[in-house]
Structure 1
């Protein structure tokens, strides 16, 4: 809940200068020079050194060509924009640009009459890829830290119907990794804005006769609050034509406008803009569930589980001995969990509780510290001393690698629920079961048991709808840090 409180606190309006400084430009003053310098040096120096080593002609010319082409490709692909830095570093875009660089330099060699292409020439381009990726990631992390400290933000005025304004404010307040802070609202109609955002001016329900009346009111509010961006949420009283007229004057006055389509938790890679007969259409691709995506995920899961079992086999033996000697009872605890499409399966864990823990749970229901369907106690009396250590570092979960090997689970996915939890699910919560549960997932790397039930469901649904192989790699990399940190593990 800490993130939620921080985000809510930064929604409060603050006194600002009469005219906003464009914060995107302010924070980019050193981002752009740093990125360009890293790209120039990362491409020029290794290429020059390699060409000199293999004694190819024109080493300086080829190095200069590589040094100039790499930033030029970055400019064309918009790699030096705040959007690229703010969305997570854009590693996929960097790899795509690097392949373009390899092709461009290969073509240039042929044009210059250099027929052979030594392997060293391509190896020399790898530092450019690595350095650019590291630089993009470093800028992304710096930007996120600045946003969490209420810096590098853009001040926004929201235009729309009152319930929509409240929904936008609530959604933005849940996270701190974005750049938007709502400083005012221009509701359409007389509805009450309950989110606490200052109401600057109210727009009539019907489009005014004067074409510039809406824009004049919104511009006045933006000037008063020093906002440099306007969010517009179309609705019953804010038609497409009315939004169009509003955008004309806002753009003429140098203000940016963003239209909120009303969809949430959809990854940008699934969204594609198109048009037909003057209509702007937003195409949303379905989540990758079957076909090649499913085969790749299953293959990665089983090969990864097999490799981890082989690598961790000595640790598994040590942990099994510790459990056996720590308290009476079996080493493994077998529990029925619900998997994909509500299929039950036996899940294995190292035993961390006393033997009759399930029977004792009935008497502890009143002590449940979770606000949803899960049962969680920070100091559960059923947990053994060895079990506390195993839970602290999630070592009790390691036998689930065999569940992954047998196809019950995935390396990454939603938390596997108990049957008694599933019977309480509503239709939205049931969507968590549309894919295999995971050994780790967004829930595990985002706070685990410290999260509310609503936050847990939101994270799981975000994963279910936006799964990708690169996203899985990111979650697995974050898992190690979460395990060592131990936050929310009990």
Structure 2
């Protein structure tokens, strides 16, 4: 058997050996190694932002000089100095937000927006009314380039993490079931960068949970962290934890270099619905009711229909080409129409390019024994009903393009839960019924998280998360990830 290979990380030396390693033989996590690659990654991010600022401003100064004949040295140097000073003040270079989540991008955008405002105010204050190009062209260009660079750096970091590098050693402390769930999630989503290396739970001091060694009891967490040098202490639900014990744990972890993270009981509620506030001196986590209407939903409706109309016009040559290929394939109809359930349980006719033989629905009954999907779904990895043209269409989701007409008609959304069949909704439990509170979408969390490879329970969980925590920013993120998933053809059959 080949020995596992030590591969260098793009942000430092190899942190772990790539390959299966028994729990008993794993090296102890190194706080020094974790801190080293974190510092290097942060330095690369800062350097890329400064380089983007310098390049854009230098090019802009040269172009403006050629057009107007004025050097505008003060404008260029003042804009650059403002950006470089405001970004750290807006915590755009904070270590804890780099490499994961939308907060990194939000802070960068806020910092650059504040820079543009300060440049404009400086122009008004000193009578330099010719700062408009720097405010409305130069700073936005810096933002576009910096965001693109941050995205590329994050992809490089995620690739390293999928190889087991650039990970943060984590100590999990809580009940065995909640700790096991955390372990499974960190393994499934390696790009987050957490690797649970040890566990403290209940009265047990030995054994394993989900393949991770139990290092001690819950009252020994701080001592184990000092010995092992863990970077994150993830506290999960357990009756042992009360406000006094959590506060004392936070005190005991001071000086260890470990960050304490407490997983809330409401693990599937996130985003704009969670707000922290203080009442009578007590920190409270406010959970607002999910919004299924209002101004934001109106914006979503307008954007959906406008984008759908633009895409139909832009993709019309592709739509016509696919229609001809489907028609010439076997002479059957171009479109496949099917009744689906939309918002509030109303039914509508969803249209797709036909990717199966004409009598596919009649043949389905004979194939139920070969169903590869769980729950009420029916999916087959090698469905004999799929035509040759249909196989290509389904792999890259081109068969779903006609659903843009459903979006234009207001029956569907660009992003939302999967549109179910009427017979599926009959078997829905109460949790799954909440999928029907919003319009179904052409794409959604279910598609960017694995598409047909997901289990029924996981697809329901992701759809419910979207329904509960919807935001316009989440829609944009899903649309971006959908393009990547479709181009790669992952999970589609």
User: Does the TM-score normalized on the shorter chain lie above 0.5?
Assistant: yes
Per-residue CA distance 1:180-212 (angstroms, 9 max, x = gap): 111111112359864232111124xxxxxxxxx
**Match status 1:199 vs 2:214:** yes
Which moves more between the two structures, 409-418 or 58-67? 58-67
Please list, as runs of the form range in 1=range in 2, the aligned pairs for 1:351-430 lying within 5 A after superposition.
351-430=354-433
1:138 deviates by: 2.0
* Partner in structure 2 of residue 459 of structure 1: 462
CA 1:69–1:228 in 2, change beyond 3 Å: closer, same or farther? same
Which moves more between the two structures, 79-88 or 19-28? 19-28
1:327 deviates by: 2.3
CA 1:124–1:384 in 2, change beyond 3 Å: closer, same or farther? closer
1:436 deviates by: 1.0
Of 87, 105, 108, 1:74 maps to 87
Per-residue CA distance 1:445-479 (angstroms, 9 max, x = gap): 33322222233223322322332333323333333
CA 1:135–1:326 in 2, change beyond 3 Å: closer, same or farther? closer
CA 1:342–1:24 in 2, change beyond 3 Å: closer, same or farther? farther
CA 1:39–1:393 in 2, change beyond 3 Å: closer, same or farther? closer
Which moves more between the two structures, 83-92 or 347-356? 83-92
Gaps of 5+ in 2: 1-17
1:104 deviates by: 0.6
**Match status 1:153 vs 2:167:** yes
* Partner in structure 2 of residue 97 of structure 1: 111
Please list, as runs of the form range in 1=range in 2, the aligned pairs for 1:442-481 lying within 5 A after superposition.
442-481=445-484
1:55 deviates by: 5.6
1:10 deviates by: 8.7
* Partner in structure 2 of residue 326 of structure 1: 329
Which moves more between the two structures, 399-408 or 12-21? 12-21
CA contact (8 A) 1:445 1:478 kept: yes
**Matches of 1:62 and 1:464, distance apart in 2:** 47
Of 231, 235, 239, 1:236 maps to 239
* Partner in structure 2 of residue 296 of structure 1: 299
* Partner in structure 1 of residue 9 of structure 2: none
Please list, as runs of the form range in 1=range in 2, the aligned pairs for 1:244-283 lying within 5 A after superposition.
244-283=247-286
1:346 deviates by: 1.2
**Matches of 1:10 and 1:308, distance apart in 2:** 49
1:488 deviates by: 2.9
Q: Which has the higher contact order (CA 8 A, sep 6+)?
A: 1
**Matches of 2:45 and 2:490, distance apart in 1:** 36
CA 1:361–1:274 in 2, change beyond 3 Å: closer, same or farther? same
**Match status 1:225 vs 2:236:** no
* Partner in structure 2 of residue 179 of structure 1: 193
**Match status 1:137 vs 2:151:** yes
What SS class does the counterpart of residue 399 from structure 2 fall into?
helix
* Partner in structure 2 of residue 59 of structure 1: 72
CA 1:166–1:379 in 2, change beyond 3 Å: closer, same or farther? closer
Gaps of 5+ in 1: 1-6, 204-213
CA 1:458–1:179 in 2, change beyond 3 Å: closer, same or farther? same
1:88 deviates by: 4.1
**Match status 1:189 vs 2:203:** yes
**Matches of 1:36 and 1:311, distance apart in 2:** 34
**Match status 1:45 vs 2:58:** yes
CA contact (8 A) 2:168 2:232 kept: yes
CA 1:252–1:311 in 2, change beyond 3 Å: closer, same or farther? closer
CA 1:435–1:9 in 2, change beyond 3 Å: closer, same or farther? farther
Of 318, 340, 349, 2:352 maps to 349
1:52 deviates by: 3.8
**Matches of 1:18 and 1:10, distance apart in 2:** 14
1:336 deviates by: 0.9
**Matches of 1:10 and 1:263, distance apart in 2:** 34
**Match status 1:87 vs 2:100:** yes
State the number of aligned residues: 472
CA 1:435–1:111 in 2, change beyond 3 Å: closer, same or farther? same
1:376 deviates by: 0.8
**Matches of 1:253 and 1:91, distance apart in 2:** 29
* Partner in structure 2 of residue 207 of structure 1: none
CA contact (8 A) 1:46 1:124 kept: no
**Matches of 2:265 and 2:20, distance apart in 1:** 24
**Matches of 1:237 and 1:11, distance apart in 2:** 30
What SS class does the counterpart of residue 237 from structure 1 fall into?
coil
What SS class does the counterpart of residue 231 from structure 1 fall into?
strand
CA contact (8 A) 1:190 1:202 kept: yes
TM-score (norm 2): 0.86
* Partner in structure 2 of residue 3 of structure 1: none
**Matches of 1:11 and 1:370, distance apart in 2:** 33
Which moves more between the two structures, 234-243 or 465-474? 465-474
TM-score (norm 1): 0.86
CA 1:199–1:8 in 2, change beyond 3 Å: closer, same or farther? farther
Which moves more between the two structures, 409-418 or 250-259? 250-259
**Matches of 2:474 and 2:424, distance apart in 1:** 27
